[in-house]
Amino acid sequence: MIRAHLIVPCLLTCSALSAQTPNLIEAAEYEPTANRWFISNGSSILETDNGGVSYEYFGSGSATH
């Protein structure tokens, strides 16, 4: 039982550290119909609907220019 008390905080910490964060923002696009922002972050696209408090992975993208 003691091990479970050690594993749960470790898992929560690891998941928080691997969360999507915008570190190489290249562009942002607002979608007013859904009140959300799309942020290009390196080769991935993040989405936020709460003003940047949290981000979700939306997909990947690339450009030739």
Where are the chain's structural domains? 21-65
pLDDT given for residue 43 in this prediction:
84
pLDDT given for residue 4 in this prediction:
58
- Check residues 16 and 60 and name the one with the higher pLDDT: 60
pLDDT given for residue 16 in this prediction:
47
Give ∠ CA 36-15-34 in degrees, rounded to 5: 10
pLDDT given for residue 65 in this prediction:
67
pLDDT given for residue 30 in this prediction:
94
Tell me the per-residue pLDDT of 15-47, one tens digit each, with 9 for 90 and over. Answer: 444 556 677 788 899 999 999 999 998 889 999
Measured between alpha carbons, how far is 22 from 2 in angstroms, rounded to an integer? Answer: 36
Measured between alpha carbons, how far is 54 from 19 in angstroms, rounded to an integer? Answer: 9
Residue with tokens 């942002």: 28
SS3 content of the chain, % helix, strand, coil (to 5): 25, 35, 40
Could you tell me the pTM of the whole model?
A: 0.61
